[in-house]
Chain A
Amino acid sequence: MSEIFGMPLSVIAGQTMLGLVNGCFYAVLSLGLALIFGLLRIVNFAHGAFFMAGAFVAWMLFHFFGVNYWWSMLLVPLMVGLVGALFERTMLSRLRRLDPIYGLLLTFGLVLVLEGGFRLLFGSSGKPYPVPDLLKGTVQLGFMVLPIYRGWVIVAALIACALSWWVIERTPLGAQLRAATEKDALTQSFGINVPRLLTLTYGAGIGLAAFAGVLAAPILHVNPSMGSDLVIVVFAIVVIGGMGSIFGSIVTALGIGIIEGWTKVFYSEASSTIIFVLMAMVLLLRPRGLFGREGSS
């Protein structure tokens, strides 16, 4: 009984784990994307570029200043998040009253600038980032061998998601955020500084993307296009989960990661298109997304 549909259990378990790891990256990225879309009504095209910037800043800190992985985990989201907040404050906020397409164009432009900039500085072949000593090696789980670092990615990403969920759903700051998402003018009339909340949210979403970038650095080759490869899938996930639904994005991301993994086992030709097939089906059958609320299109 170590086969399912003619596939060894260890292969399925291995792909499930890889799918879950990918799902974790999707989850942290789509969480930030959904957060930003919900409050700022901006389709943040630059999300993948900030993910990539996170990985590169971690690499630069390590390479030039000897800052280790653990410090990077703390510093990089703060640094990149601050850049994101600055970008929102100085540029994105000026487009607030215009058609959302302008925000999309501006963030798309930023992608070109960031990717071009890193390509100019470091080339497109990419840089290796070492797995930290503490997380090297594997553990034998009986039915499969788990590389410790991948297990760590799952744990760290889930903690980040849970923490974000807690802040949004259970704290007064989160209540302000939800309120501003739902009725921004009224919320502002109570004396809540909504523009500051927007900047903060954008910065936090970008910080999350950079955090995912640090997590990804030892697994993926740190290279200028690593964000674009991922972000298209993440957009599909946000559409499937429902725009602006935080919980929906997290659950969908993990599910999609696993489905993608299984597709690799059973019909690998479809593994890169399955997500978009699912997206098309969801759009046909339930246009507001699996977890989307009525009226939040």
Chain B
Amino acid sequence: MSVWHRLTWAAHRTQPMAESLLQIKELRAWYGPSQALHGIELDVPRGEIVTLLGRNGAGKSTLLKSVMGIVPRRSGSIRLDGRELIDLPPHRIGHAGVAYCPDDRGIYATLTVRENLLLPPVVAPGGMSEAELMGLFPNLEARKRSAGTQLSGGEQQMLAIARILRTGARVLLLDEPTEGLAPVIVERIGDLLQQLKQRGYTILLVEQNLQFAAELADRHYLVETGRVVDHYDRAALVSNLQQLASRLGV
């Protein structure tokens, strides 16, 4: 490897980051006897969108769940703005200002749309008001008395994102928000995430849709068998898209 190569190679790996808001070190997680995460290391800089790429079963969803404290057992260090979260019970992690949107969207069948929206408690000032959210998602306003699961898949996804925007949490963990949705809805979600970024939210996103991730995110981590094996900034991802696609099997 020539010096020049070495320099450019190093450049996309060690590009100076903005201050890291969410910092994960040595994160391990287990489901019973089987270990799902083997020492994850990653940083999510303040105000950026960061994606987790990887095949099914690589541990991306487990990583988000581990941050929220809803896996059976985990160890390591998860710092939010310098504050250690690993020893907190799950409901205290929510109050620390991280909000989570699961891959099944987590809409409650026994709650109405409005109850779903108002369920997560406000944990910090600066969240959006109910009126503001209903304005942003007019479909929800029209169907606020229906049971949550009577909404279409796209509407459920909007609801799942809308309800965590009310809480004032500034770090959002989104697990495959575009999965199984029509292209036009995927586009709307992309626009929404851009808007959220402009408003200063920090987003950690699990995404299978490489194109979607490439257009949106500032930084990407590649997860394989419970480890972060590579990371790319925006430019590096674009130039490695082909190679990465084959690596992800997409």
Contacts and interface: CB of A to CB of B under 8 A. Distances in A.
Q: Do A and B bind each other?
A: yes
Interface of A: 172, 175-176, 178-179, 181-183, 185-195
A190 B118 contact: no
B111 to A, nearest CB: 6
A189 B94 CA distance: 5
29 contacts: A175-B111, A175-B118, A178-B115, A179-B110, A179-B119, A181-B110, A182-B108, A182-B111, A183-B106, A186-B106, A188-B70, A188-B89, A188-B90, A188-B94, A189-B69, A189-B70, A189-B90, A189-B91, A189-B94, A190-B91, A190-B99, A190-B121, A190-B164, A191-B94, A191-B123, A192-B94, A192-B119, A194-B90, A194-B91
Interface in B81-102: 89-95, 99-100, 102
Given A178-B111, A179-B111, A186 B70 contact: yes
Nearest to B94: A191
B62 interface: no
B39 interface: no
Interface residues of B, number: 26
A269 to B, nearest CB: 42
Interface string B111-142: 10001001111010000000000000000000
Given A191-B120, A192-B94, 12 more contacts: A172-B118, A181-B110, A182-B108, A187-B119, A189-B91, A189-B94, A190-B99, A190-B164, A190-B167, A191-B123, A193-B91, A195-B89
Contacts of B94: 188-192
A110 B70 CA distance: 31
Q: B68, B90, B118, B164 — which one has the most chain A CB atoms within 10 A of its CB?
A: B90
A191 B118 contact: no
B109 interface: yes
Nearest to B67: A189
Q: B68, B119, B164 — which one has the most chain A CB atoms within 10 A of its CB?
A: B119
Contacts of B121: 190-192
A192 B118 CA distance: 12
B102 A191 contact: no
A97 to B, nearest CB: 8
B91 A176 contact: no
A181 B120 CA distance: 15
A189 B110 contact: no
The 7 tightest CB contacts between A and B, nearest first, are A191-B94, A190-B120, A185-B70, A188-B90, A189-B68, A178-B110, A175-B115
A187 B120 CA distance: 8
B91 A191 contact: yes
B95 to A, nearest CB: 4
Contacts of A172: 118
B69 A191 contact: no
